[in-house]
Structure 1
Amino acid sequence: MADIFYPLQLIADKMTYGVFGIAPDTNLAASVNFIIYDVMKIFVLLAVMIFAISYIRTYITPEKTRKVLGGKKGLRYHFVASLIGTVSPFCSCSSVPLFIGFVEAGVPLGVTFSFLITSPLVNEAAVAVLWATLGFKATALYVVSGIVLGVLGGYLIGILKLEKYVEEFVYKIKVGQKASEPEKLNVRERVGIAVEGVKEIVEKVWIYVIIGVSIGGLFHGYAPEGILERYAGEDNLLAVPIAVLVGVPLYSNVMGMIPIIESLIGKGLPIGTSLAFLMSVTAVSLPEMIILKKVLKKELIAIFVSIVAVSIIFTGYLFNLLL
C-alpha cells in the first residue's frame, strides 16, 4: 500500500520541507506532512471506490431489492440483504421510506433490519478512507464484520418475532411500485452516472475529510506517544465497551472520524477499540434512531440498539486479538 502511494509521499515531503520550508523532525513538520499526504491519498481512493460502486449501483434499484427479498426467510436472505446494504445508495435519512417499502413488499422484519444495519455501516466512501488510512487488512475485517453484524443482528430480531413493535400504520401503507423495469443503460451512460456519483459524494464529504485529517494531523504531531495506550490500551478490559457506550449517543460524519481514529491508533489506542467506537457512531447514530422512531416503537429501537451494541463490543475485542 505504501509503495502505491509513494509518489504522494514525495509530494507531501516536497510541500512540507520545500514549499513551506518547515524544518524536519519537528512536531509541526509531522502534522503538516501527515495532513498533506492523507488528504491526497484519501481523495484518490475515494474517487476510485465511489466510481466503482456507483457503476455497480446502476444495476440495483429499490424495486429490485424488494423483489429479491420480498417474503423470503432464512439466514441466506439476511446475508443477501446485508450485501445489498454495503452497496446501497441510502443513508439514515432514507430509513423511514425504505422501511415502509420493505415491509409493504413483504420483506420479513429481520431481513429488513439486516439491510438497515449494514447500509449506514459499510459504504464505499468509508471503505476508501479506511483503506487509505489503516490498510487493506483492517478494512477487510471492518467490511466483513459489518456484514456479519447485519446478518446476525437482523436474524436475532427476526427470531424474536418483534412485529408487534412496528407502528400499525406501516402495515396499512401501500407504496407504489413501478410497472416496468428501469430502462437499460449502455456502458457510456453507466460511466456517466458513476462520474456524477463521484462528484456528488466528494462535494458532500470533502470538508469532513479535510477537517478530520487536520485534527488527526495535529494529534499525530503533538500528542505524546503512548498516551492513550496507558488509559485505553489492551490492559483495560473495559476499554471496548466504554468506547461503544460513548459512541452510541454521538453522531459524526464517518469521513471526518476515520482520519482522527487513524491518528489515535498511531498514538497507542488499540485498533479494535478504535473501530468499535467508529462502528457505534455509524451503525446506531442518534439521528437515525430519531427518524426510525416514526415507524418503530421504543421497545424495538431499544432491542435493536442493544443487539448492535453488544455485537460491536464483541467485534472490538475480536479486532484487538486479530490486529
Structure 2
Amino acid sequence: MFDWLQNFSDWLIYSIFDIVKGSKLGDSLNFFVYDTIKILILLFLITFIMGIVNSYFPVDKIRNYLSRNKLFGLEYLFASTFGAITPFCSCSSVPLFIGFVKGGIPLGVTFAFLITSPLVNEVAIALFIGMFGLKATILYVSSGIILGMIGGFVLGKLNLEKHLSPWVQQVLLNAEKESDLEIEKQSFVQRLPLIFREAMGIIKAFYSML
C-alpha cells in the first residue's frame, strides 16, 4: 500500500540528498521521512472518517437526555461502556471527543469515553480470551471501564474547561455560532468542507504539540 512512499523516501534521501544507502544516517533519515508521512496520511484519513461519523452522531439527543434526567453518576458508566464497545483507537476517538465537547456534553463524561475508548478494544479482548481465558478478559474489560469512570469523574470535578487547548476552545466558539438545525439540513457534500477543516485543525494541533 505504501510502496510508493518507500520509493519516494529512497529517492529523496539516497538520490537528492546523496546519502549513502545502508549507512546509519541514511537509514535513519529514510525511516523518518517514510514513517512521518505515513502517520500524517493515516491520521488525516482517520480523523476525516471520524469527522463524518461525528457529523451524523446524535450528540444533541444525548445532551438533552443528560440534562433532563438525573443519572446519579451512571452517565460516566454509560460513556465509559460506550468507549469500550466502540472500535475506536486514540486518534479516531479525538474527533468524536471534540464533537461531544462541542455538543455541550459535560467534560467529565467525555473524558470517561476518551479514556476507555483506546484502553479497551475488540482486538485486545479477542487476544485476552485466546491467551488468558474468559475470567481474565472480564477483569480486563471491567478494569478499563472502571478506570474510565473514575478518571472521567475526577477530571469532571476539576473544572478543566478553561484549560482546554486554544483550538478546542475555538471549536466551541464556532459551535455557538452554528445552528444544530442548520447542520442537520445540510447534505453530505455540504458538510464535507467543515469536516475537512476540522480534520486539518486536529492534525495541525497534533503536530504543534510535538
Report the TM-score range of the alignment, normalised by the length of the smaller protein: 0.5 to 0.7
Match of 2:46 among 35, 42, 49: 49
Matched position secondary structure for 2:97: coil
Match of 1:152 among 138, 146, 153: 146
Structure 1, residues 217-244: CA drift from partner, whole Å, max 9, x if none?
xxxxxxxxxxxxxxxxxxxxxxxxxxxx
Matched position secondary structure for 1:55: helix
Distance 1:205 1:78, change over 3 A: closer
Query: Within 2, Cα distance between the matches of 1:194 and 1:202?
Result: 12
Which position in structure 2 is the counterpart of 1:119? 114
1:89 aligns with 2:83: no
1:80 aligns with 2:74: no
Distance 1:23 1:148, change over 3 A: farther
Structure 1 residue 52, shift from structure 2 partner? 0.4
The one-letter code of the counterpart of 2:19 is I
Structure 1 residue 32, shift from structure 2 partner? 0.7
Distance 1:148 1:48, change over 3 A: farther
Please, what TM-score do these two structures have when normalized by structure 1?
0.39
Query: Within 2, Cα distance between the matches of 1:155 and 1:206?
Result: 29
Structure 1 residue 195, shift from structure 2 partner? 1.4
Query: Within 1, Cα distance between the matches of 2:21 and 2:29?
Result: 11
Structure 1 residue 122, shift from structure 2 partner? 5.7
Distance 1:148 1:62, change over 3 A: farther
Answer yes or no: is the 8 Å Cα contact 2:79–2:113 preserved in 1.
Answer: no
Structure 1 residue 71, shift from structure 2 partner? 3.5
Matched position secondary structure for 2:49: helix
Map 1:183-198 onto structure 2 (within 5 A): 183=182, 184=184, 185-198=186-199
Distance 1:78 1:206, change over 3 A: closer
Query: Within 2, Cα distance between the matches of 1:206 and 1:77?
Result: 28
Please, what TM-score do these two structures have when normalized by structure 2?
0.56
Structure 1 residue 29, shift from structure 2 partner? 0.7
Query: Within 2, Cα distance between the matches of 1:148 and 1:193?
Result: 37
1:64 aligns with 2:61: yes
Answer yes or no: is the 8 Å Cα contact 2:115–2:148 preserved in 1.
Answer: no
Higher share in helix = 2
Structure 1, gaps ≥5 residues long: 103-111, 124-136, 142-146, 168-179, 208-252, 257-323
* C-alpha RMSD over aligned residues: 4.4
Structure 1 residue 117, shift from structure 2 partner? 3.6
The one-letter code of the counterpart of 1:41 is K
Answer yes or no: is the 8 Å Cα contact 1:115–1:150 preserved in 2.
Answer: no
The one-letter code of the counterpart of 1:203 is K
Match of 2:24 among 4, 23, 27: 27
Which position in structure 2 is the counterpart of 1:284? none
Answer yes or no: is the 8 Å Cα contact 1:113–1:153 preserved in 2.
Answer: no
Distance 1:24 1:81, change over 3 A: closer
Distance 1:150 1:66, change over 3 A: farther
Answer yes or no: is the 8 Å Cα contact 2:13–2:30 preserved in 1.
Answer: yes
Percent of aligned positions that are identical: 21
Structure 1 residue 205, shift from structure 2 partner? 2.8
Answer yes or no: is the 8 Å Cα contact 1:81–1:115 preserved in 2.
Answer: no
The one-letter code of the counterpart of 1:152 is I
